[in-house]
Amino acid sequence: GAGVSQSPSNKVTEKGKDVELRCDPISGHTALYWYRQSLGQGLEFLIYFQGNSAPDKSGLPSDRFSAERTGGSVSTLTIQRTQQEDSAVYLCASSLLGSDQYFGPGTRLLVL
């Protein structure tokens, strides 16, 4: 079956612009996660959605970052007024409740 997909695969933007990153989880997976992978760093947890519960936003680095998940499926991560330090690979994962996380290929974001 289809895995987690993310779009775009690459995004180049100018400092100060807003960007939207999309994640399509595996069908039927109720949990969805966003991570950020900066150069030379491990993955940093950003946000977690589970069903209709309030998301855990504790990992979002600033109020320029937000995410939503519509209809319990597709999720969009939005970064407003991008900064150069936002350059990273943004990874999405999905899972069944309490089960293993399956990762997408990521979106590579470059802020010039």
Q: Which residues bind another protein (CB under 8 A)?
A: 3-4, 31, 33, 35, 40-45, 48, 50, 56, 91, 93, 95, 98, 100-106
Token pair 């319990």 is found at: 72
Answer yes or no: are the C-beta atoms of 52 and 30 closer than 8 Å.
no
The least distance separating another protein from the CB of residue 36, rounded to whole angstroms, comes to 11
Cα distance between residue 2 and residue 26, in whole Å: 7
Amino acid letter, residue 98: G
Is residue 109 within 8 Å of residue 35, measured between CB atoms? no
Q: Which is nearer to another protein, 16 or 38 (CB)?
A: 38
The length of the chain is 112
Looking at the Cβ atoms of 71 and 98, the one nearer to another protein is 98
Give the residue with the Cβ less far from another protein, 14 or 100: 100
Q: How far is the CB of 24 from another protein (least distance, A)?
A: 13
Least distance in angstroms from the C-beta of 83 to another protein:
22
**Minimum CB distance to another protein smaller for 5 or for 80:** 5
Radius of gyration of the chain from its Cα atoms, rounded to whole angstroms:
13
